[in-house]
Amino acid sequence: MTNVQADLDPAPLVQELVEKSKSGKLKWEATADRRAFVVSVGGNTTFRIRLVESTDVDEFGQPQSVQIPVLIMLDEKGNTLWEIRSRDVKAKGPGLYDLFSMARRIGNKLDERIGSAISALRQL
Residue 77 sits in the site that holds another protein (CB under 8 A): yes
Give the C-alpha separation, 58 to 84, whole Å. Answer: 23
Task: Judge whether 102 and 39 are in contact, CB under 8 Å.
Answer: no
Site string for another protein, 39-68 (x = CB under 8 A): xxxxxx-x-x--------------------
Cβ distance to another protein smaller for residue 56 or 76? 76
- Which span (54-62, 71-79, 92-100, 113-121) binds another protein, by CB under 8 A? 71-79
Burial class (CB in 10 A: 0-12, 13-18, 19+), 17: buried
Site string for another protein, 82-121 (x = CB under 8 A): ----------------------------------------
Residue 45: how many CB atoms within 10 A of its CB? Answer: 13
Tell me the residue type at 44.
N
**In this chain, which of 24, 61, 63, 78 binds another protein, going by CB under 8 A?**
78
**In this chain, which of 13, 15, 20, 30 binds another protein, going by CB under 8 A?**
30
Task: Judge whether 71 and 47 are in contact, CB under 8 Å.
Answer: yes
